[in-house]
Amino acid sequence: MLPRTIIFANGSLAHPNAARALIGPGDRLIAADGGAAHCLALGLTPHLVIGDFDSIAPADLDALQRAGAHLMRHPARKDQTDLELALETAVGEGATDVTILGGLGGRWDQTLANLLLPTLPWLAQARVEIADGRQTIRYLHGPGQMALSGHPGDTLSLIALGAGAQGITTSGLEYPLTGGSLQPGSTLGISNTFAGPQATITLESGLLIILSFEF
């Protein structure tokens, strides 16, 4: 089984202890440019630092390289963000399970772009999630199914993107759906809750963002 890949983006890491607890000994760590600062703050050495390196101090780069990190430098004038380059590299290495940390932040353009990156067609076969403390954002491309663990009362929301989501069937939630549909912009799927320790979402076609909140 391939190891999980953890990508540190250059957004806010509001819950560093929770982020550190997610990382296992066999995980591959990739820092997208300034995301390397999060690694340093957590006492971690990423296996790879990728980007144009405009958001990280040269001294920090030197320290990471001395510690064994591989640096992959890209030109500043490029058509992709550092996070997209990191995702491309991870998938090119064969990663199928990717968690993004530090993917959200104060700049709305960067945050929105980061939220939409995992919806790209070439990532449809990978399991990509964005974690931020007790909140996790996941993506389900139809046809497909996703099982989630939680606690009774935890919040789970479904948001459709693109042309909408059709044939949504859920189980283990307080408000179930059977063959339902969601259109982009609809709030029908917001603020459902776990009825037990596990929930399942099945999607016939389309694209869903699945947001879970542990309280």
Residue 74: DSSP 8-state: -
One domain for residues 91 and 145: no
Domain total for the chain? 2
One domain for residues 65 and 116: yes
One domain for residues 87 and 60: yes
One domain for residues 29 and 129: yes
Residue 1 has pLDDT above 60, yes or no: no
One domain for residues 156 and 71: no
Q: What is the pLDDT of residues 88-126, one digit of tens each?
A: 999 999 999 999 999 998 789 999 999 999 999 999 889
On whether the CB atoms of residues 45 and 37 are closer than 8 A, the answer is no
Range of the domain at 48: 5-133
- Give CA angle at 87 (208, 143), nearest 5°: 30
Give the Cα separation of 71 and 23 in Å (integer).
21
One domain for residues 126 and 163: no
One domain for residues 156 and 88: no
* Cβ contacts of 45-49, under 8 Å, gap ≥ 24: 45/69, 46/8, 48/72, 48/89
pLDDT mean across residues, the chain: 94
56 residue type, one letter:
I
Q: Rounded to 5 degrees, what are φ and ψ at 86?
A: -65, -40
Residue 189 has pLDDT above 80, yes or no: yes
Residue 2 has pLDDT above 70, yes or no: no
Query: For position 209, which CATH number holds?
Result: 3.40.50.10240
